């Protein structure tokens, strides 16, 4: 398969996957005795109303970060399933710096929050990178295990030493006032009134452009991609594969850690137990759909944000289906993108009337 | 102490089934991180079928069917369509996380759990005559649901099948040298589909055990990362059945220990529950990092020569 025909096959498969996923969604609605058009109503609400779009963008923002996080590792030939843990550690970083310097004015507090989210996320990512580079531990297993550890650490901290004593809810102490990222509705975009979409969206978009530049136009990015293509060839060419591996995981951790800008600094202004609806795992789907292209990730994140918000909307509209429908649809999308030959295999098989290829 | 041992056995059983299921798939040369999803659909199907038929054995069969079908989704993507096996695994896990609460809502009106089963609908304890008479030890270790005994025997059966039968040797060949296997006139793809059927069935038993033997209902995400721990155990066992059994017992022990520690205090200081829950995962990480040396996966894993 040449690069061009593969690209066409992949695009076909992605578009086909979207259509198939929507069909499956309507099918599930029909089976559960619900009006199937409700799915389209929910999805169009999520895009074409200011309120819906506000929430959609709010959900898309963390997915940009986690999508980039997964993509950077992918480009280096590594699999980061640890974005979920890294994002909790990043959120913890924001909380800690705010507790240290609660009265910092916004002009200092917002960058401080971003830096400490990046620092803790990056450190957590580094663990996986070091274990992979120095000990040869498989990064998939390591990151999965680290997810559990990060979640327990953060849960412990926000439930005991950093718990908010004024409420029974599982929440941490609130951030200092200066740490709040301004909402878009506060900077003049009144169409987004009462929605939590905030300025971290702009940070996310800028970050995507920075990562694109880093990967495409710097020697560092070239080395990273080279390791991704062939680590043995890179080693012979004098690139330190171990160093690239660690750096890839550090950058991935930084990116995932920045989810906290949106959910912690931008909206809740504290850490709520389990605030992430699996952003880290959805990030894998986002990166795949965008084929690890940072600009593509912006659009893929928007799609998955729509899906997530649409599914939540659907749960409100219907008493028969639940928002978990989004997971099923996401799975189908991932499958369609990951297995471009699946469509061909299926259609080929149907065309031959169920017979095996000669 | 004996209670801790019995608890270790109970908690290791789902890990053993899942790890043995994973062993079949991974030895056939396909990374299989979707054990979690297979257990989850197996658990739901088993609990639901048991609830409607009031017969746990029909529940087991339903779990097996669900497990095989879920694992075959992975086969469809990773074997048949040559998708990246890790990505395919992620998709299958996501699918299982989504489809179980959706179906539960359709069947029972809520996403949280299936209705709980009465004691006589669950798998009952099967005492082993003679051994069960041993004072203290007997009632705790030899009066258990039969899935626990089956779990302990399975690794030895798996070792026999893998190392001593033509089917097993073909699986090993599909994992280490699929081209050689193809040259010998056997389709690696076909071998992998069959290995996945066995793997899915075994892993589903882990979920079934959780739903209708260990607990009395399916609860949402009840596998709680056990599929991943099983995978880690498989790596510690270096993809060999009997060492993997010991790795599962090791993790089962840590799980039992954490449950035990939750209700106790050390020198008047009670350890926060989160740190205790972290134990099995930290133990796994430390082992992965330091003490097992480089684990050599089956050669064809991660290669595109399928």
Query: Is A156 in contact with B99 (Cβ distance < 8 A)?
Result: no
Confidence class for position B301, pLDDT limits 50, 70, 90: confident
- Alpha-carbon gap, residue B241 to B20, rounded angstroms: 7
A31, A149, A331 ranked by CB distance to B94: nearest:
A331
B80, B101, B225 ranked by CB distance to A345: nearest:
B80
CA distance B10 to chain A (A): 22
pLDDT in tens, B126-163: 777 767 677 766 666 777 888 888 999 999 999 999 99
Mean pLDDT of chain A: 88
Residues in chain B, total: 306
Query: Is A135 in contact with B278 (Cβ distance < 8 A)?
Result: no
Comparison of pLDDT for A48 and B263, the residue scoring more: A48
For residue B142, CA distances in Å to B130, B137, B252 come to 9, 8, 18
pLDDT (0 to 100) of residue A201: 96
Tell me whether B87 touches chain A (CB under 8 Å).
yes
Tell me whether A158 touches chain B (CB under 8 Å).
no
Burial (CB count within 10 angstroms: exposed 0-12, middle 13-18, buried 19+), residue B228: buried
The angle, 0 to 180 degrees and rounded to 10, between the axes of the packed helices A294-317 and A37-48 is 120
Query: Is A331 in contact with B76 (Cβ distance < 8 A)?
Result: no
Nearest alpha carbon to residue A252 among A17, A92, A84: A84
Query: Is A138 in contact with B274 (Cβ distance < 8 A)?
Result: no
Confidence class for position B305, pLDDT limits 50, 70, 90: very low
- Alpha-carbon gap, residue A208 to A258, rounded angstroms: 12
Query: Is B285 in contact with A142 (Cβ distance < 8 A)?
Result: yes
Nearest alpha carbon to residue A189 among A8, A57, A13, A39: A57
- Alpha-carbon gap, residue B200 to B68, rounded angstroms: 4
Chain B residue whose CA is closest to A343: B81
Nearest alpha carbon to residue A334 among B66, B304, B234, B97: B97
Tell me whether A341 touches chain B (CB under 8 Å).
yes
The angle, 0 to 180 degrees and rounded to 10, between the axes of the packed helices B226-236 and B188-209 is 120
Backbone angles phi, psi at A308, to 5 degrees: -65, -45
Nearest alpha carbon to residue A237 among A219, A216, A223: A223
Interface subset of B 145-204, CB within 8 angstroms of A: none
A231, pLDDT greater than 70:
yes
Q: Which residue has the tokens 């060949």?
A: B173
pLDDT (0 to 100) of residue A345: 62
Comparison of pLDDT for A352 and A245, the residue scoring more: A245
Task: Say which DSSP state A172 is in.
Answer: B
Task: List the Cα angle A264/A269/A271 in 5-degree steps.
Answer: 60
Q: Which residue has the tokens 């900077």?
A: A187
- Alpha-carbon gap, residue B214 to A178, rounded angstroms: 50
pLDDT in tens, A72-129: 999 999 989 899 999 999 999 999 999 999 998 999 999 999 999 999 999 999 999 9
Query: Is B288 in contact with A141 (Cβ distance < 8 A)?
Result: yes
Q: Which residue has the tokens 């996401």?
A: A330
Tell me what the mean pLDDT of segment A51-72 comes to: 96
For the ranges A18-22, A137-141, B56-60, B118-122, the lowest mean pLDDT is seen at: B118-122
Query: Is B102 in contact with A141 (Cβ distance < 8 A)?
Result: no
Does this complex have an ipTM over 0.90?
A: no
Tell me whether A9 touches chain B (CB under 8 Å).
no
Nearest alpha carbon to residue A259 among A152, A124, A132: A124
Confidence class for position A67, pLDDT limits 50, 70, 90: very high
B261, pLDDT greater than 90:
no
Sign of the C-alpha dihedral computed for residues A177, A181, A184 and A187 taken in this order:
positive
Task: Say which DSSP state A1 is in.
Answer: -
Query: Is B99 in contact with A330 (Cβ distance < 8 A)?
Result: no
Interface subset of B 197-256, CB within 8 angstroms of A: 225, 228, 231-232, 235
pLDDT in tens, B174-200: 988 888 898 888 899 999 999 999 999
Per CATH, is B2-291 categorized as 1.10.3470? yes
- Alpha-carbon gap, residue A317 to A322, rounded angstroms: 10
Tell me what the mean pLDDT of segment B257-275 comes to: 70
Query: Are the C-beta atoms of residues A138 and B229 closer than 8 Å to each other?
Result: no
Comparison of pLDDT for A108 and B300, the residue scoring more: A108
Query: Is B101 in contact with A148 (Cβ distance < 8 A)?
Result: no
Query: Is A335 in contact with B281 (Cβ distance < 8 A)?
Result: no
Confidence class for position B214, pLDDT limits 50, 70, 90: confident
Burial (CB count within 10 angstroms: exposed 0-12, middle 13-18, buried 19+), residue A251: buried
Confidence class for position A62, pLDDT limits 50, 70, 90: very high
Q: Where are the domains of chain A?
A: 61-305
- Alpha-carbon gap, residue B142 to B146, rounded angstroms: 10
Q: Is pTM beyond 0.90 here?
A: no
Share of chain A above pLDDT 90, in %: 52
pLDDT (0 to 100) of residue A57: 96
Tell me whether A20 touches chain B (CB under 8 Å).
no
A327, pLDDT greater than 90:
no
- Alpha-carbon gap, residue A71 to A314, rounded angstroms: 30
Q: Which residue has the tokens 């209700």?
A: B263
Confidence class for position A258, pLDDT limits 50, 70, 90: very high
B306, pLDDT greater than 50:
no
User: Which residues of chain A does B294 touch, with a Cβ-Cβ cutoff of 8 Å?
Assistant: 136
Task: List the Cα angle B271/B276/B280 in 5-degree steps.
Answer: 160
Tokens of B297: 């996966």
Comparison of pLDDT for B119 and A147, the residue scoring more: A147
Q: Where are the domains of chain B?
A: 2-291
- Alpha-carbon gap, residue A287 to A280, rounded angstroms: 11
Tell me whether A23 touches chain B (CB under 8 Å).
no
Mean pLDDT of chain B: 86
pLDDT (0 to 100) of residue B276: 78
pLDDT (0 to 100) of residue B145: 84
Q: Which residue has the tokens 């991932």?
A: A334
- Alpha-carbon gap, residue A186 to A96, rounded angstroms: 26
pLDDT (0 to 100) of residue A34: 82
- What residues have CB less than 8 Å from B202, skipping those under 6 apart? B17, B18, B20, B21, B24, B67, B154, B158
- Alpha-carbon gap, residue B24 to A309, rounded angstroms: 39
CA distance B124 to chain A (A): 33
pLDDT (0 to 100) of residue A357: 52
pLDDT in tens, A148-190: 999 999 999 998 888 888 888 889 989 988 999 999 988 888 8
Tell me whether B262 touches chain A (CB under 8 Å).
no
B202, pLDDT greater than 90:
yes
Tokens of B58: 């029909």
What is chain A's Cα-based Rg?
21
Task: List the Cα angle A229/A234/A238 in 5-degree steps.
Answer: 165
Tell me whether A204 touches chain B (CB under 8 Å).
no
Q: Which residue has the tokens 């929507």?
A: A22
Task: Say which DSSP state A161 is in.
Answer: T
- Alpha-carbon gap, residue A101 to A97, rounded angstroms: 6
Query: Are the C-beta atoms of residues A282 and A303 closer than 8 Å to each other?
Result: no
CA distance B296 to chain A (A): 10
- Alpha-carbon gap, residue B70 to B77, rounded angstroms: 11
Tell me whether B33 touches chain A (CB under 8 Å).
yes
* Interface mutation vs chain B, best among A149, A326, A348, most B CBs within 10 Å: A149
Burial A264-300 (b: 16+ CB within 10 A, else e): bbbbbbbbbeebbbbbbbbbbbbbbbbbbbbebbbeb
Tell me whether B304 touches chain A (CB under 8 Å).
no
Tell me whether B111 touches chain A (CB under 8 Å).
yes
- Alpha-carbon gap, residue A61 to A58, rounded angstroms: 6
Query: Is B91 in contact with A159 (Cβ distance < 8 A)?
Result: no
Q: Which residue has the tokens 């550090």?
A: A250
Task: List the Cα angle A242/A243/A248 in 5-degree steps.
Answer: 100
Q: Give the helix/strand (H/E) hosting B126.
A: strand B125-127
- Alpha-carbon gap, residue B305 to B300, rounded angstroms: 8
Query: Is A331 in contact with B83 (Cβ distance < 8 A)?
Result: no
């Amino acid at each position: 398969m040449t690069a061009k025909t593969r690209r066409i096959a992949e695009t076909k498969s992605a578009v086909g996957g979207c259509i198939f996923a929507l069909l499956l969604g309507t099918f599930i609605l029909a089976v559960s005795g619900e009006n199937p058009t409700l799915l389209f109503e929910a999805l169009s609400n999520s895009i074409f109303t200011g309120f819906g779009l506000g929430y959609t963008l709010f959900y898309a923002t963390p997915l940009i970060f986690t999508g980039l996080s997964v993509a950077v590792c992918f480009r280096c030939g590594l699999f980061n399933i640890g974005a979920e843990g890294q994002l909790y550690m990043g959120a913890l970083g924001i909380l800690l710096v705010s507790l240290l310097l609660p009265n910092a004015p916004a002009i200092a507090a917002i960058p401080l929050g971003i830096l400490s989210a990046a620092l803790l996320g990056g450190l957590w990512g580094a663990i996986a990178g070091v274990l992979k580079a120095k000990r040869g531990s498989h990064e998939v297993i390591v990151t999965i295990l680290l997810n559990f550890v990060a979640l327990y650490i953060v849960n412990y901290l926000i439930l005991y030493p950093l718990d908010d004593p004024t409420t029974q809810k599982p929440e941490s102490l609130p951030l200092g006032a200066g740490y709040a990222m301004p909402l878009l509705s506060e900077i003049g975009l009144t169409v987004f009134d009462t929605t939590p979409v905030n300025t971290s969206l702009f940070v996310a978009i800028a970050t995507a452009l920075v990562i694109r530049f880093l990967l495409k136009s710097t020697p560092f990015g070239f080395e990273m991609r080279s390791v991704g293509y062939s680590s043995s060839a890179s080693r012979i060419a004098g690139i330190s594969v171990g160093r690239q591996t660690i750096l890839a995981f550090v950058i991935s951790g930084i990116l995932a850690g920045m989810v906290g800008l949106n959910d912690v600094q931008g909206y809740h202004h504290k850490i709520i137990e389990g605030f992430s609806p699996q952003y880290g795992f959805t990030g894998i789907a986002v990166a795949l759909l965008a084929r690890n292209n940072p600009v593509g990730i912006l659009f893929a994140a928007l799609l998955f944000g729509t899906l997530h918000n649409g599914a939540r909307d659907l749960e409100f509209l219907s008493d028969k289906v639940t928002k978990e429908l989004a997971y099923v649809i996401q799975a189908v999308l991932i499958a369609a993108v990951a297995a471009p030959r699946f469509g061909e295999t299926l259609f080929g098989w149907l065309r031959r009337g169920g017979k095996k290829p000669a | 102490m004996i209670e801790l041992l019995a608890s270790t056995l109970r908690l290791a059983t789902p890990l053993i089934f899942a790890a043995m299921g994973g062993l079949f798939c991974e030895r056939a040369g396909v990374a299989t991180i979707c054990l979690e999803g297979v257990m989850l659909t197996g658990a739901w199907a088993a609990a639901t079928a048991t609830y409607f038929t009031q017969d746990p054995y029909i529940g087991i069969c339903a779990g097996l069917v669900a497990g095989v079908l879920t694992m075959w989704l992975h086969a469809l993507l990773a074997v048949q369509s040559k998708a990246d096996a890790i990505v395919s695994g992620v998709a299958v896990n996501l699918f299982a996380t989504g489809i179980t609460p959706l179906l539960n809502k359709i069947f029972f009106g809520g996403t949280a759990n299936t209705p709980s089963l009465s004691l006589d609908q669950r798998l009952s304890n099967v005492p082993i005559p003679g051994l069960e008479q041993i004072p203290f030890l007997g009632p705790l270790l030899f009066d258990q649901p039969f899935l626990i005994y089956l779990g302990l025997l399975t690794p030895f059966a798996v070792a026999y099948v893998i190392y001593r039968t033509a089917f097993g040797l073909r699986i090993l060949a599909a994992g280490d040298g699929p081209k050689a296997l193809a040259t010998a006139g056997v389709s690696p793809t076909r071998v992998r589909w069959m290995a996945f059927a066995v793997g899915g069935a075994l892993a589903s038993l882990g979920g079934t055990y959780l739903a209708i033997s260990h607990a009395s209902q399916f609860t949402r995400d009840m596998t709680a990362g056990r599929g991943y721990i099983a995978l880690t155990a498989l790596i510690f066992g270096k993809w060999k059945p009997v060492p993997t059994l010991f790795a599962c017992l090791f993790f089962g022990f840590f799980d039992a220990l954490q449950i035990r520690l939750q209700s106790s205090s050390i020198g008047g200081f009670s350890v926060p529950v989160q740190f205790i829950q972290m134990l099995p995962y930290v133990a796994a990480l430390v082992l992965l990092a330091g003490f097992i040396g480089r684990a050599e996966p089956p050669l064809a894993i991660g290669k595109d020569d399928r």
